[in-house]
């Protein structure tokens, strides 16, 4: 089981504001606020932003992304909407997807630094 993940961001304050809005529909809140890092989570910091103001921007074709679980289809949609309205980019509109073991509902965004983040949920069977 993965305990937490960290991503590099160029402007910590801008990225923290972006993620505070984007992660709220997923049940995350800002839990830790340090000079060079900010942590979001439900009960403890699970998703960290680390300031790297002089770091090179990562290539978008690495295949790497982080997927966060949402409670509902509506939360996935809200995650995507908020990301776009706060300066993020669409990298896969909300919709049904075929996973390896099951279908799911997900959306992909690129944050202010080009990091690829997904929100997903497995809807109840109809």
The CATH superfamily assigned to 5-53+65-121 is 2,3-Dihydroxybiphenyl 1,2-Dioxygenase, domain 1 (3.10.180.10)
Strands 89-98, 103-110: pairing is: antiparallel
pTM value? 0.93
Q: Looking at the predicted structure, is the pLDDT value of residue 61 above 90?
A: no
Q: Are strands 5-9 and 89-98 parallel, antiparallel or unpaired?
A: unpaired
Rounded CA-CA distance 6/38 in Å is 10
List, for residues 69-125, the tens digit of each pLDDT value: 999 999 999 999 999 999 999 999 999 998 888 899 999 999 999 999 999 999 887
Strand pairing report for 116-121 and 103-110: antiparallel
For the chain, the structural domain boundaries read 5-53+65-121
Residue 57 has pLDDT above 90, yes or no: no
Contact 40, 7 (CB under 8 A): no
CA distance 109 to 15: 14
């Amino acid at each position: 089981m993965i305990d937490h993940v960290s991503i590099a961001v160029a402007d910590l304050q801008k990225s923290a504001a972006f993620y505070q809005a984007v992660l709220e529909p997923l049940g995350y809140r800002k839990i830790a606020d340090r000079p060079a890092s900010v942590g979001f989570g439900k009960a403890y910091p699970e998703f960290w932003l680390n300031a790297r103001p002089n770091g090179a921007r990562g290539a978008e074709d690495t295949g790497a992304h982080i997927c966060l679980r949402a409670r509902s289809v509506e939360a996935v949609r809200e995650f995507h909407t908020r990301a776009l309205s706060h300066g993020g980019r669409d990298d896969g509109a909300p919709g049904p997807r075929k996973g390896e073991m099951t279908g799911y509902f997900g959306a992909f965004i690129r944050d202010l630094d080009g990091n690829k983040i997904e929100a997903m949920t497995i809807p109840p069977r109809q």
